Amino acid sequence: MKIVVLNGSPKGDISVTMQYVAYIRKKFPEHTYEILNVAHEIRKIENDTAVWNKTIESIRSADMVLWAFPLYVMVVCSQYKRFIELIFERSAQDAFAGTYAASLSTSIHFFDQTAHAYIHAISDDLGMKYLGFYSADMKDLLSGEERTRLEKFVSLLVTAVQEKMPVQRENAPLVLPSLVLLR
Ligand SMILES: Cc1cc2nc3c(=O)[nH]c(=O)nc-3n(C[C@H](O)[C@H](O)[C@H](O)COP(=O)(O)O)c2cc1C
């Protein structure tokens, strides 16, 4: 199956979070992976139509999208947030709709649950089938127990996608207050 990783670290390939993705690739080589450095490359993605189109087409081809991001100041970094804004501004939701999604973060566990709740809600708004999250401490990869937990998480994701597990959205869509609509 094809896993598209949306890298939410402004550091790009050298990010700590991407080392967790590298570990997953090593342990699950039977899948294909495409890593999109959407935070690091946000200026190009926003300003170059060809880069934007290529990014969206890669996402469209995914069997599962992995939102992989670090925590920066209690949520995802602003570049990642901008990428998410662009999806809605440019009406690209259809490239995500119906695809399985999951999230993986590294942090020091300060407001990581808020960031995952945000990404879960965004996935719901995009019509994705959100399966769950793995929230690692930035040094967890050094622990055998945590590596085993990460492998179990990925195995569960793969099974869910392969068995086409039904997923219900958990977050109601936002409705504009009538006062805003009156303006
Ligand atoms: C400026 C800054 C802000 C951070 N804010 C948070 C935070 O709010 N919550 C948290 O748990 N970790 C926070 N961290 C820790 C990072 O999430 C952690 O180092 C992460 O593994 C970095 O991943 P990356 O190398 O993939 O960017 C922060 C780190 C920095 C440098």
**Which residue in this structure is represented by tokens 């009156």?**
182
> What is the model's pLDDT at position 180?
67
Q: Is pLDDT of 183 > 80?
A: no
CB 44 within 8 A of CB 15: no
Q: Is pLDDT of 52 > 70?
A: yes
User: Cα(71) to centroid of ligand 1, in Å?
Assistant: 5
**Which residue in this structure is represented by tokens 């999230």?**
103
Q: Does residue 73 line the site of ligand 1, with CB under 6 A?
A: yes
In tens, the pLDDT along 92-109 reads 999 999 999 999 999 999
> What is the model's pLDDT at position 178?
78
* Mean of the per-residue pLDDT values of the chain: 96
Residues in a beta bridge with 104: 68, 134
- Determine the Cα–Cα distance for residues 98 and 55; give it in Å rounded to an integer: 17
Q: Does residue 17 line the site of ligand 1, with CB under 6 A?
A: yes
Mean pLDDT over 114-122 rounds to 98
Q: Does residue 107 line the site of ligand 1, with CB under 6 A?
A: yes
The pTM assigned to this predicted structure is: 0.96
> What is the model's pLDDT at position 176?
76
- Determine the Cα–Cα distance for residues 95 and 111; give it in Å rounded to an integer: 29
User: Cα(108) to centroid of ligand 1, in Å?
Assistant: 7
pLDDT band for 182, please (50, 70, 90 cuts).
low
Which domains, ranges and CATH numbers included, belong to the chain?
2-182 (3.40.50.360)
Q: Does residue 99 line the site of ligand 1, with CB under 6 A?
A: no
Q: Is pLDDT of 116 > 90?
A: yes
Q: Does residue 8 line the site of ligand 1, with CB under 6 A?
A: no
Q: Does residue 108 line the site of ligand 1, with CB under 6 A?
A: yes
Element (H, E) at 79: helix 78-89
> What is the model's pLDDT at position 164?
98
Pocket test for ligand 1, best of 71, 135, 137, 138 (most atoms within 8 A of CB): 71
- Closest-lying ligand 1 atom to the alpha carbon of residue 75: 8
Percent of the chain whose predicted confidence (pLDDT) is above 90 = 94
Q: Does residue 52 line the site of ligand 1, with CB under 6 A?
A: no
CB atoms within 10 A of CB 98: 10
- Determine the Cα–Cα distance for residues 69 and 54; give it in Å rounded to an integer: 21
Instruction: Tell me the three state secondary structure of residue 53.
Output: helix
Mean pLDDT over 112-138 rounds to 98
Distances (CA, A) of 8 to 66, 82, 167: 10, 11, 24
- Determine the Cα–Cα distance for residues 179 and 9; give it in Å rounded to an integer: 37
